[in-house]
Amino acid sequence: MRLIRKLIFNLAVLVPAAVLLGLGTAWYMVQAGTRLSTRTIGPWVAWTGAGRPEAEPYTRAHIALNGVLPVSSTSEIAFRAKTDSDGGRLTSGCDYAVAMEDFEPQWWNLAVFDGSGALVANAAERYAFSSGSAMREPDGRTLIAVARDARPGNWLPSGRSNRIVLVLTIQDASWAAAIHNGGAPKVMPRIVRTGCR
C-alpha cells in the first residue's frame, strides 16, 4: 500500500513538477536568453549566433519561436532593448532620448515595436530611423526622441502600446565580428528617460 502511495505521489507530483521545471527553464533560456547565447551591452541585448547555420540550440529555438529572419551575425547584428540605460522598463507612457555619440557603424536602423514584435501604430506613420534618414546635431551626435507626442528633430512615435521594445540593427562586419567574438564592447547608444506622464 505504501509503495503504491509513493508511486502515485511520484507520478502525480514529482513527474509534472520535473516536466514544468524543464519546460520553464527551456522557455526562459529560449525567450530571454542567457550569457550562453546573448551579448548584453547596457540595455542592448543581441543573440550572437542568430542566423548562423552553426548556431547553438537556444538561438535556433529562439529564431523558430519568434518567426524572425535574421541576417547572419557575421555581417549584421540586431540588438533589442526592453529597458532604458538605468534599467527602467520601456513604456509608451514615458519619453526617451536615444543618444548616439561616437556611434559610427556603416549603417544602422532604429525601430520601435510592441512587446510581440508588431509595429506601433501612429498618425505620423513613422516606425524607424536609419543612418541615412536621421538628422545630426551640430556637434555630430544623433539624438532620437522616442515619445508619444510630437517632438522637434528626430521624433520616433511610441504610440499608445503599453510596453515598447527598441530594435537597433547594425550592418557593419567589424561591429558584428567584435560582438560575435566577444571582443571589446563598442560604444552603444544610451537610452535616457526624459519624462513620464
Partner 1 sequence: MRAWPGQLWRTPRGWLARLPPARMLLKQALGLLLRLRLPGWLRRLGLRRIAAVVLLAGIVHICATLATPVLSSRHAFLLLRDKLSANRMVVLPPQAPGQQLLPWLPPHMLYAICRYDLSGGPVTVRATVADAGWALSLHATQGENFYVLPGQPLRRTEVSLVLVPKGPETPLIPRAESISDTPVVSPTREGLIVLRAPLHGLAWAAETEAMLQRATCTQARRAD
By CB under 8 A, name the binding residues for partner 1. Answer: 10, 14-15, 17-19, 21-23, 25-27, 29-30, 51-53, 55, 57-58, 60-61, 63-72, 74-76, 78, 106-107, 109, 111, 113, 116-121, 125, 127-133, 167, 169, 171, 173
Q: Cβ 71 to partner 1, closest distance in Å?
A: 5
Nearer to partner 1, 120 or 146 (CB): 120
8-state DSSP, 14: I
For 8, 116, 169, 172, 183, the CA distances from 104, given in Å and listed in that order, are 63, 29, 13, 10, 17
Which residue pairs, CB below 8 angstroms and at least 24 apart, start in 57-63? Answer: 58/29, 58/30, 58/33, 58/34, 61/26, 61/30, 62/30, 62/31, 62/33, 62/37
Q: Which residue from 46, 62, 82, 73 is spatially nearest to 165, judged by alpha carbons?
A: 82
The whole-angstrom separation of Cα 20 and Cα 94 is 36
Nearer to partner 1, 68 or 187 (CB): 68
The whole-angstrom separation of Cα 67 and Cα 61 is 10
Nearer to partner 1, 133 or 194 (CB): 133
- Contact between residue 134 and residue 154 where contact means Cβ atoms under 8 Å apart: yes
Nearer to partner 1, 56 or 86 (CB): 56
Q: Measure CA of the first residue to CA of the last residue in the chain; give whole Å.
A: 64
Nearer to partner 1, 6 or 196 (CB): 6
Q: Cβ 39 to partner 1, closest distance in Å?
A: 18
Q: Cβ 195 to partner 1, closest distance in Å?
A: 25
Nearer to partner 1, 1 or 123 (CB): 123
Q: Cβ 182 to partner 1, closest distance in Å?
A: 21
Give the cell for residue 50.
542568430
Q: Cβ 29 to partner 1, closest distance in Å?
A: 7
Q: Cβ 126 to partner 1, closest distance in Å?
A: 8
